[in-house]
Structure 1
Amino acid sequence: MRTTAQFFKALSEEPRLRILALLLNGELCVCDLMAVLQLPQSTISRHLAYLRNTGWVKGRRRGVWMYYRLAEMPTPFAQELVALLGKRLRELPDTLQDYAALEAFRRTKKPCA
């Protein structure tokens, strides 16, 4: 039960929910998340570390940047929760704004690494 509580606790902060919503569409660089969320690298990294430690995301290094994606969920319960979040987070006005900001950033960004 403790693991399940920690899994849910990871959803308790807005930046982490926004990060998860963005990662629903695939892997992103920390630089992408910084641009969209308008938060410093240290803040983004802290939230990503929390999400990684609770099993929500996986990271990989490419050059100086880290790239993150949603982790494969180990249980049917976690898989169903991600499916529900995926459906409902995509409907939120803030998420739609984040998706638009990401697309605008991608049109102008230089490669991260």
Structure 2
Amino acid sequence: MPKALPVIDMSAPVCCSPVAAAPIDDNAALEVALRLKALADPVRVKLMSLLLTSPKQGENGGDLAAAVTLSESTVSHHLGQLRKAGLVESERRGMNTFHRARRDALSALCLVLDPNCCT
């Protein structure tokens, strides 16, 4: 029987000491790894780029699907993974769902990896 990963709440930005400060414990390493795993796909990186550079207050799934030339269901899956990692938030408006990047979560992840990256 495969070992199940522990369930952690990833809705809040990652919060632990920088990995270079001292050896991190297993829970903190898991939190960082799960967020990095969500970004370890070229389509997800491109979606994050589109969301971060959008002048709008969120992009709908159809526009994002057209931008990455994938089906809306595939883009929805990728956005779900980013949302589960706490890197994207989504809001339903009428018949559409709009998505935007959570800059605070990305900044927190950057600071955990390298506390000097954002100074």
Q: CA RMSD in A?
A: 2.1
Cα distance in 2, alignment partners of residues 46 and 75 from structure 1: 20
5+ residue gaps in structure 2? 1-28
Q: How does 1:17-96 map to 2 (within 5 A)?
A: 17-26=45-54, 27-74=58-105, 77-78=108-109, 80=111
Moved segments of 4+, more than 3 Å: 74-77
Cα distance in 2, alignment partners of residues 29 and 67 from structure 1: 4
5+ residue gaps in structure 1? 85-113
Instruction: Name the SS for the 1:7 alignment partner.
Output: helix
Q: Which has the higher helix share?
A: 1
Cα distance in 2, alignment partners of residues 47 and 76 from structure 1: 20
TM-score, length of structure 2 as denominator length: 0.61
Please name the residue that 1:13 is paired with: 41
Q: 1:57 to 1:76 in 2, by over 3 A?
A: closer
State the Cα distance separating 1:78 from its structure 2 match: 2.0
Question: Higher mean Cα deviation, 43-52 or 32-41?
Answer: 32-41
Q: Deviations over 1:2-48 (max 9, x none)?
A: 11001111111111000000011232111110111111111000000
How many residue pairs end up in the alignment? 82
Larger Rg: 2
TM-score, length of structure 1 as denominator length: 0.64
Give the share of equivalent positions with the same residue, in percent: 32
